Each structure stands twice: as C-alpha cells, then as structure tokens.
Amino acid sequence: MTLHTETLRIRTGAEERVHDLTADCARFLAAHAADRDGLLNLFVPHATAGLAILETGAGSDDDLLDILRTLLPPTHPYHHRHGTPGHGRDHVLPALIPPHATLPVTAGHLALGTWQSVCLVDTNVDNAERQVRLSFLAG
C-alpha cells in the first residue's frame, strides 16, 4: 500500500464561498497516482467548513449558499456567539456538509460524474485562509 499526502492552502476571502477544488485534486493525482486505482481522501481541519460534491458554474453553488442561509439563518440566536453576528451557524455547518470526502480514483483520475465537482464550502467570513488535506491511498 502507498499513501501520499499534501495540504492545500485556500484563500476563501471575506465572503461566503463555494470553492471548486477539482483541478487541485487532478493536479495532486497527476503527481501521485500515475495510472493507479485507489482512493482520494479530502479533509478540512476546520470547525466551520465542509466539503461537497456538486455541479458548479450553473448556479448550484449559489443555490447551496442560499439554502444554507435558510437552514442556518445568521440571525438565529445561536448559543455559540463569538465572532461576527451569525458565526454560530458556521460551527453547525459541518454537521450538514461534512469536513471530509473519500472519492474513487480510476487509472489516476477522479471517478466523478459528468457534472460533479469537489468543492470547499466556507460560510465563515472571519477566517479567510483554509487548509484542505489531500491523501491518495493505492493498494
């Protein structure tokens, strides 16, 4: 078994954001997976961000942020109250959008569907810098 790991540093800025990581994953796999089959694991070591597989560029990323504002309204009286108003919802986000994903790799490429992208979902405007750990495991 072989394992390769790399940490991406992503600048999400001061706005809620869905950041597409698919090209970063492809670069990582090109360097470490060659033509092998295995698994790509992604992990976000933050309490206020998650990973989602969804279509981007056609409005789905904005729809996701809109739905999150409805499900987790910033004006709700959260018990967790430090940070900007509504920051408590950022700490609930990983319960709905997990901070991890494991994806199949076939012949060195992500085995995603036609419209699927790997995305970092970040609603925390207090933390503009994020890390995403990529690990490729081949048997």
CB count within 10 Å of CB 20 equals 15
- List CB contacts of 73: < 8 A, sequence separation 6 or more: 86, 89
Residue 82 confidence (pLDDT) above 90: no
Cα separation, 1 vs 116, in Å, equals 28
Cα separation, 107 vs 72, in Å, equals 40
Global pTM value? 0.94
**Per-residue confidence (pLDDT) for residue 85, from 0 to 100:** 83
Q: Which residues sit opposite 49 in a β-bridge?
A: 122
Q: Are 33 and 138 in contact (CB under 8 A)?
A: yes
- 29-33, 61-65, 72-76: least confident range: 72-76
Q: What are 91-111's pLDDT values in tens digits? A: 999 999 999 999 999 999 999
Model confidence band, residue 86 (pLDDT cutoffs 50, 70, 90): confident
Round the average pLDDT of the chain to a whole number and report it.
95
Q: Which CATH architecture has domain 2-138?
A: Sandwich (2.60)
Q: Which of 72, 71, 83, 134 is closest to 105 using CA atoms?
A: 134
Residue 122 confidence (pLDDT) above 90: yes
Model confidence band, residue 84 (pLDDT cutoffs 50, 70, 90): confident
